[in-house]
Amino acid sequence: MSDKAQGNSVRLLTAPGTAAIAVVRIRGHRVAEFIRRRISRDVPQGRLTHVELCDEEGVIDDPVALRHAEDDLELSLHGGAWVVEAVIRLALRDGFMLEHHEAASIDLPWHVVLTPRGVDQVCEDERVFAQQLERKIEADVSIAPTQRALSVLLSQTSAWRARIMRWRDARRTMESDPVDWEALKRRELDFIRSDRAMGNLLGLRGSPTVAIVGIPNAGKSTLANRLLGREGSIVSPTAGTTRDWVEHEAELDGVRVRLLDTPGVRETNDTIEAEAIESSRCAIEQAGVVLLVIDVSIDPEGGSIDAKLQLEMLYRFDRVKCVLSKCDLVDAARVDRWRRLLNHYESVRSGRNVPLSGLCDLILRGLGIDGRESERPLVW
């Protein structure tokens, strides 16, 4: 069930723009977790409570909080544009959906190209379609988080116009076989509807999550820091250093993502570490991409527990992409043995002297973003 169906949402109740006070409402079953992680003190129901609202970097604002119900929180913020944006982005990162306008979807008039119609009616349908599309683009310009997202959004008018003209030309050439034409068209429309690119570019459900998983000391935190461009996770040769999952907001080739650095998966008698491993599992299962960091310094045919764990993790999660870590520490033959075992999975190498471009491409392809979004029509 989607977060939207479950009712996890964040909404700006006051008018956009700078003001003395801005009111943001957060609703859904994740409210209690949001308060625990982000707010300095508990917020009792029905009482105005002065709190501090924090992210990983520190205090964002000291709003007055009012909890209407267990799953309904209202924050009265200082009304600066930066504060409002920071709070909404924080909620998006924590899995809430932005209610930025009512027209969240367009009823696209597929009948323009699916059925033969008179010229006057086709022109009218296309005019309505163009107006709907323009309204949606104008509404979403304000939430485009990066220049790349904005560029793709603004390209959609011409992309849809070109696709409709192509469909009309194809319909004329297949006029004698309307059954095959409609079957062909419906297959293509199903593909367009399933395209996740625009939703992930705009972060309509929050920034898409990239979970980094692997055994202890495989290089997960090192990889997270490289993608982040700074030291966001503690790196240590001691296994189990990351004992709880750590999240960071990062930008990869113009796409805003949420990096989830998870504790190493292993059998452990440490109660805290075991709970952290188990609690991270749900977050990993909801990720858009799961990066499995494979420590190639471990012999895949040596029969060790770590070797077995790395292979088992291939089947433990969906949407897995493999990153071969520590390639600069072993010979080419060892790397090739791992590659042969992973031949059914997309994989890239990672190391101090290996550029990040291949890894970024791997992640974005997993999110449905391949660099050709401006050339094709998208539904969002």
pLDDT by residue for the chain (380 residues), tens only, comes to: 334 435 788 988 876 655 678 889 999 999 999 999 999 999 999 889 999 999 988 999 999 999 999 999 999 998 677 788 789 888 988 888 877 544 344 445 555 544 445 445 556 666 777 777 888 888 788 778 889 999 999 999 899 888 878 777 777 776 666 667 667 777 777 778 788 899 899 887 778 999 999 888 888 888 888 888 755 444 444 444 444 567 888 899 999 998 988 876 555 555 544 555 565 677 788 889 999 999 998 888 888 888 888 888 888 878 889 999 888 888 888 888 898 888 777 878 776 666 778 889 999 999 999 999 999 988 87
> What's the pLDDT score for residue 271?
54
> What's the pLDDT score for residue 183?
74
- Give 242-293 as a 3 state SS string: CCCCEEEEEEECCEEEEEEECCCCCCCCCHHHHHHHHHHHHHHHCCCEEEEE
Three-state DSSP class for residue 81: helix
Residue 13: which residues within 8 A CB-CB, separation 6 or more?
23, 24, 25, 74
Dmax (CA) of the chain: 74
> What's the pLDDT score for residue 281?
72
Axis-axis angle for helices 119-141, 147-154 (nearest 10):
170
CA–CA distance, 291 with 210 (Å, rounded to integer): 7
DSSP character string of 146-163: SHHHHHHHHTHHHHHHHH
Instruction: DSSP letter for 204, please.
Output: B
Query: CB of 355 within 8 A of CB of 241?
Result: no
Domains and CATH numbers, the chain: 3-98 (3.30.1360.120), 111-194 (no CATH), 209-366 (3.40.50.300)
> What's the pLDDT score for residue 178?
63
Instruction: DSSP letter for 177, please.
Output: -
Q: Where are the alpha helices (DSSP H) in the chain?
A: 3-6, 31-38, 81-93, 111-114, 119-141, 147-154, 156-173, 178-193, 197-202, 220-228, 271-285, 305-312, 332-341, 357-366
* Phi-psi map region of 30: left, alpha, beta (phi>0 left; psi -120 to 50 alpha): alpha
Sheet holding 347-349: strands in order across?
A: 246-252, 255-261, 209-213, 289-295, 320-325, 347-349
> What's the pLDDT score for residue 205?
75
User: Does an H or E element contain 67, and which?
Assistant: strand 64-69
CA–CA distance, 316 with 274 (Å, rounded to integer): 17
> What's the pLDDT score for residue 305?
86
> What's the pLDDT score for residue 234?
40
> What's the pLDDT score for residue 263?
72
Three-state DSSP class for residue 323: strand
